[in-house]
């Protein structure tokens, strides 16, 4: 597995990470805990050093799964990212909350569940409009000084917010959705973080599974699977959006690769400081995704794929309006 560096503070990770959310949150039904632990350990064996979780996934049990799985690999260069930023009551998200006291409480809980003395990368999960971002960054700066956190990250933050936070405590990584069918960050966000020397960690780089070509208009989603309510995953939208899958499939055939590998290779080719974190609960998909690091798309091929994808009109919003405001994904 190749390595990449996120930000200017020296955070080195595997070129592809593993998003662990789906092991206990968002994509029901969930695998048995022991199966998830086995998969995470297989990822380590394959050279993956970057694992993503959050207190709200579950909530809480995702961090416990990741912590138990990675316990045998302490001091082996493993980087675990987790997130704070939600008010969790009775096992439910009740809005955003990034007050300094909440951040500190979240960090203490994450440290315990992960079984570590220091969090490698700590993200604000979603921007809290009621708390100045300078206060958030200042709190994380204090936690870094106290040895409880190593690196600071933001998720789904706007350019102005990123700049304000970075001025208080250097931001190493921005985590936001980015893929061949979700590219709104190219206009302002990516140029901003490139200017500031911040790495980019795309979540859902495979379009929540759709870009792999394994989800057609006949697929039904179980209760507890977020795709059941996402506009982009209605039967009508999936039928229309299949045109993008066909574009990717044509490139995959040329490279003797899979759709997933081409979609990830496209993301990797955008910038040397982009590290996608595809999620999976299946070992063969883990192996498939990791294989994307060996696919070298030329600049001409990247441009061709980008242009071809832009000719497809994507149907459906990436989230419902309510999810856009409060989602922990």
Structure tokens at 239: 């039928």
Backbone torsion region of residue 82, taken as left when φ is above 0, otherwise alpha when ψ lies between -120 and 50, otherwise beta: beta
Q: Report the C-alpha gap between 211 and 264 in whole angstroms.
A: 10
**Of 27, 57, 151, 319, catalytic:** 57
- Quote the strand ranges of 129-232, DSSP E: 149-155, 171-177, 199-203
57 is catalytic: yes
Asked if residue 49 lies in contact with residue 13, where contact means CB atoms within 8 angstroms, the answer is: yes
Q: Where are any strands of DSSP class E within the chain?
A: 3-6, 11-14, 18-19, 50-52, 79-84, 86-89, 92-96, 119-124, 149-155, 171-177, 199-203
Residue 277 to residue 327: CA distance in whole angstroms:
18
**Which bin fits 312, alpha (ψ -120 to 50), beta or left (φ > 0)?**
beta
Rounded to the nearest 5 percent, the helix, strand and coil shares of the chain are 45, 20, 35
Residues whose CB falls within 8 Å of the CB of residue 16, separated by 6 or more in sequence, listed in order? 1, 48, 50, 264, 268, 275, 276, 277, 278, 289, 290, 292, 293
Sign of CA dihedral 256, 257, 259, 263: negative
CB count in 10 Å sphere of residue 156: 20
CA atoms within 13 A on the CB side of 128: 24
CA gap 211, 89 in Å, rounded: 35
- Cα torsion through 118, 151, 176, 158, rounded to 10: 130
What residues are labeled active site?
Answer: 57
């Amino acid at each position: 597995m190749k390595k990449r560096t996120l930000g200017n503070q020296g955070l080195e990770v595997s070129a592809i990470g593993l998003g662990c959310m789906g092991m206990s949150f968002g994509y029901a039904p969930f695998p048995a805990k022991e199966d998830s632990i086995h998969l995470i350990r297989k990822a380590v064996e394959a050279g993956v050093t970057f694992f993503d979780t959050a207190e709200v996934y579950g909530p809480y049990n995702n961090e416990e799964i990741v912590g138990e799985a990675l316990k045998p690999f302490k001091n082996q260069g493993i980087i675990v990212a987790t997130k704070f930023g939600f008010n969790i009551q009775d096992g439910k998200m009740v809005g955003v909350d990034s007050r300094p006291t909440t951040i500190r409480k979240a960090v203490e809980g994450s440290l315990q569940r992960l079984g570590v003395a220091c969090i490698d990368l700590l993200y604000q999960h979603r921007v809290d409009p009621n708390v100045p971002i300078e206060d958030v960054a200042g709190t994380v700066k204090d936690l870094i000084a106290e040895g409880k956190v190593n690196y600071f990250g933001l998720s789904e933050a706007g350019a102005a917010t990123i700049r304000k936070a970075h001025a208080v405590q250097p931001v190493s990584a921005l985590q936001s959705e980015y893929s061949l069918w979700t590219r709104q960050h190219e206009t302002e966000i990516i140029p901003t973080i490139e200017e500031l020397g911040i790495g980019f960690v795309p979540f859902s780089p495979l379009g929540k599974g759709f870009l792999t070509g394994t989800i057609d208009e006949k697929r039904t989603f179980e209760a507890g699977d977020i795709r059941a309510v996402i506009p982009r995953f209605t039967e009508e939208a999936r039928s229309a959006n299949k045109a993008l899958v066909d574009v990717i499939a044509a490139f995959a055939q040329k490279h003797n690769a899979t759709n997933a590998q081409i979609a990830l290779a496209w993301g990797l080719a955008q910038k040397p400081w982009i590290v996608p974190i595809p999620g999976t609960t299946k070992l063969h998909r883990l192996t498939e995704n990791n294989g994307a690091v060996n696919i070298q798309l030329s600049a001409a091929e990247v441009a061709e794929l980008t242009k071809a994808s832009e000719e497809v009109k994507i149907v459906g919003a990436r989230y419902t309006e309510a999810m856009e405001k409060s989602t922990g994904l």
